[in-house]
Amino acid sequence: MCRLLLALPFALLPLAVAQAQPHEHEHDHEQGSLSAHEHGVAQLNAALDGKTLELELESPAMNLVGFEHAAKSDADKAKVAAARAELDKPMELFALPAAAGCKVASKELESPLFGDDHDHDEHAKGHDQEHSEIHAHYRFDCASPEQLKSLDLAELFKRFPATEKIQVQLIGPNGQQGAELSRSSTSLSF
């Protein structure tokens, strides 16, 4: 399944190129990069394979906590802890239907803001982490995956209001698709 998620961005690369209009910061040297850091925009890769659903969310920290610098003040530390607590509840964030019988099999949250020992954000490494990102990876085991008719991100938009758009790449029983979701259009059919 991990190979499937890793291959997803390449399978949908033509769609990403067609829709990519990244905001380049003054000091960005990777112009035109598909991994450009854009505030307000997050990416979600989703793959349903048999009874396994994998979701991988990547977002600039600005969208989820309101800043990207290391949390030093008590207020900043509280914001990071609150965001991590929200991300720790994927069943609520992704509104998976109860009829699908999905249970969280694994979850992994990573960000330099969480004090992780390693940073998977290559873009941030080159800029002294002034562009911190938060990565969340979830794997669900679903007893009745045929009941997964759609993926609804309304709750994610509600809990993280600085997130304006989520670019979704999905592989499901009906093939692959990509979409850009927003507050006014929060769901995508499998």
Of the listed ranges 23-27, 33-37, 100-104, 148-152, the least confidently predicted one is: 23-27
CA distance 157 to 138: 18
The 10s digit of each residue's pLDDT in 90-126 is: 999 998 999 999 999 999 999 999 985 444 444 434 4
pLDDT band at 31; cut points 50, 70, 90: very low
pLDDT at 9 over 80: no
CA distance 151 to 110: 23
DSSP string across the chain: -HHHHHHHHHHTHHHHHHH--PPPPTT---TT-TT---TTEEEEEEEEETTEEEEEEEEEHHHHHS--S---SHHHHHHHHHHHHHHT-HHHHTT--GGG-EEEEEEEEE-GGGT-S----HHHHTTTTTT-EEEEEEEEEES-GGG--EEE-HHHHHH-TT--EEEEEEEETTEEEEEEEETTB-EEE-
What is the mean pLDDT of the segment spanning 16-43? 51
Specify the pLDDT at position 10.
43
Tokens of 50: 């048999």
Specify the pLDDT at position 174.
86
pLDDT band at 190; cut points 50, 70, 90: confident
Is the separation of the CB atoms in 122 and 74 below 8 Å? no
Backbone angles phi, psi at 108, to 5 degrees: -140, 125
SS3 labels along 97-113: CHHHCEEEEEEEEECHH
Q: Which of 54, 70, 38 is nearest to 163 (CA)?
A: 38
> Side-chain half-sphere of 33: how many Cα atoms within 13 Å?
12
* Burial of 59 from C-beta contacts in 10 A (0-12 / 13-18 / 19+): buried
pTM: 0.76
